[in-house]
A and B are shown apart, each in its own frame.
Chain A
Amino acid sequence: MTAMFESAVDKAMPMPSAPGALEDAHARMVLDDWERRWYGEPRFKYELVRSYEEAVFALREHGEGAKALAGGQSLVPLMNLRVLRPSALIDLNGIAAIAPQVEGGRLSLSAMTRYSQVLLSELARCRTPLLTTAIAYVGNVRVRNRGTIGGALAHGQATSELAAVVLALGGEILAYGPTGTRLIHAEEFFVGHLKTDLRPEEVVTGLRLEVAQSRQGWSFRELARRSGAEAIAGVAANVTLSPERDVISGVRLGLIGVDDRPVAGDRTVLSSLLGRIPTPAEIDEVAAEVTARTAPVTDWQSSASYRRRLVRVLTRRALTEALQRAEERASAE
Chain B
Amino acid sequence: MSDADLAAMPGEQVVESEAPPPSIPGPGLAEPPSQSPETSELQGRDTPASAVAPMRVVGQPVAHHDFIEKVKGSIFYAADWELPGMLYGRVVRATVSSARIVSIDTEKARALRGVATVLTGEDVPSNRLVEKPSGAPGELLVAMPVLATDRVRYAGEPIALVAAETQRLADDAAELVRVEYEELPGVFDPEVALLPGAPLVHDDGNVLASWHIQRGDAQAALAAADVVVEGEYRTQHVEHASLETESGVGWIENDVVTLRVATQIIEHATDIAEMLKLPANKVRLIAAYMGGSFGSKEGMTVEPYLALLVWKTRRPVRMVWSRQESILASTKGHPFIMRYRTGATNDGRIVAQDVDLIGDAGAYPNKSARVLFYGAALSCGPYFTPNVSVRSRAVFTNNVPTSAFRGFGARQVTLGYESQMDRLADALAIDKADVRRRNFLRKGDVIPTGETLDTAVAVGETLERALARLGDPSVPSGPSKRVGRGFACNMHPYGRTVWLQDCASAWLSIQADGTLLIRSGVSDVGGGQAASLCQIASEILGVSLERISVYIGDTALTPPAGGTFATRQLLMSGNAVMRAALQLRQLVAPVAAEALGCPVARTVFEDGRVKAAGKSASTTAPEEGISLGELVRLCEARSVDPTTLYVFHPDAKRRGFDTEPSQWVSFPDYTYGTHAAEVEVDLETGEVAVLKYASCHDVGRAINPLRVEGQMQGGAMQGLGYALMEEIILDEGKIASSLLADYLVPTSDDMPDVMTDIVESGEGKGPMNARGIGEAVIGNAAPTIANAVADAIGFRPTQLPITPERVLALLDAADGTSASG
Q: CB within 8 Å of B: which residues of A?
A: 1-2, 5, 7-16, 22-23, 25-26, 29, 36, 38, 40, 43, 77, 81-82, 223, 225-230, 232, 300-303, 305-306, 308-310, 313-314
Contact = CB atoms under 8 A, between A and B. Distances in A.
B812 to A, nearest CB: 10
Nearest to A301: B742
Nearest to A15: B175
Given A9-B735, A306-B819, A16 B175 contact: yes
A223 B324 contact: no
Contacts of A225: 725, 744, 803-804
A12 B174 CA distance: 12
Nearest to B172: A22
B268 to A, nearest CB: 26
Contacts of A309: 684, 808, 821
A23 to B, nearest CB: 7
Nearest to A12: B324
Interface string B713-725: 0000000000001
Contact of A305 (B322, B732, B734, B820): B820
B112 A13 contact: no
A187 B611 CA distance: 85
Contacts of A303: 805, 819
B155 A300 contact: no
B169 A38 contact: yes
A267 to B, nearest CB: 23
B13 interface: no
Nearest to B111: A23
Contacts of B750: 226-227
Interface in B797-819: 803-805, 808, 819
B747 interface: yes
B729 interface: yes
Contact of A230 (B112, B169, B741): B741
A302 B805 CA distance: 7
A12 B325 contact: yes
Interface string B5-22: 000000000000000000
A8 B324 CA distance: 9
Given A8-B736, A13-B95, 7 more contacts: A5-B734, A14-B175, A225-B725, A226-B744, A227-B750, A305-B821, A306-B805
B31 interface: no
Contacts of A7: 95, 734
Nearest to B683: A313
B461 interface: no
Nearest to A229: B744
21 contacts: A8-B324, A8-B736, A8-B739, A9-B328, A9-B738, A11-B739, A12-B322, A12-B328, A13-B95, A14-B175, A26-B172, A36-B84, A38-B114, A81-B324, A223-B685, A225-B804, A228-B749, A229-B741, A300-B736, A309-B808, A310-B685
Given A305-B819, A309-B808, A310-B685, A12 B731 contact: no
A229 B742 CA distance: 8
Contacts of A16: 175-176
A40 B738 CA distance: 28
Contact of A226 (B166, B168, B746): B746
Interface of B: 84, 92-93, 95, 108, 111-114, 155-156, 165-166, 168-169, 171-172, 174-176, 322, 324-325, 328, 684-687, 725, 729, 731-732, 734-739, 741-742, 744-747, 749-750, 803-805, 808, 819-821
A9 B156 contact: yes
- Nearest first, the 7 closest Cβ-Cβ pairs linking A and B are A300-B736, A227-B749, A38-B165, A305-B820, A306-B805, A12-B324, A8-B738
A300 B749 contact: no
Given A225-B725, A226-B725, A26 B169 contact: yes
B113 A300 contact: no
Contact of A308 (B111, B169, B172, B821): B821
Nearest to A299: B736
A26 B95 contact: no
A26 B174 contact: no
Contacts of B111: 23
Contacts of A36: 84
Nearest to A303: B805
Contacts of A308: 820-821
A122 to B, nearest CB: 25
B685 A313 contact: yes
Contact of A23 (B112, B686, B731, B741): B112
Contact of A26 (B114, B171, B736, B738): B114
Contacts of B738: 8-9, 11-12
A40 B167 CA distance: 11
A302 B686 CA distance: 12
Contacts of A232: 804
A229 B721 CA distance: 14
B335 to A, nearest CB: 16
A232 B108 CA distance: 43
Contacts of A306: 686, 804-805, 808, 819
A107 to B, nearest CB: 27
Contacts of A82: 171, 175
A36 B165 CA distance: 10
Contacts of A15: 175
A2 B176 CA distance: 26
Q: Which of A2, A232, A309, A314 has the most C-beta atoms of chain B within 10 angstroms of its own C-beta?
A: A309
Contacts of A9: 93, 95, 155-156, 328, 734-735, 738
B555 to A, nearest CB: 31
A1 B729 CA distance: 12
A81 B324 CA distance: 8
Contacts of A302: 805
Contacts of B114: 26, 29, 38, 40
B729 A300 contact: yes
Contacts of B739: 8, 11, 81
A2 B732 contact: yes
A12 B819 CA distance: 34
Contacts of B736: 5, 8, 300
Contact of B734 (A8, A22, A314): A8
Contacts of A227: 747, 749-750
Contact of B95 (A10, A23, A314): A10
Nearest to B721: A226
A29 B172 CA distance: 14
A310 B741 CA distance: 22
A14 B95 CA distance: 10
A158 B114 CA distance: 41
A5 B155 CA distance: 14
Contacts of B328: 8-9, 12
Contact of A38 (B166, B322, B732, B742): B166
A38 B165 CA distance: 7
Given A2-B732, A308-B821, A226 B747 contact: yes
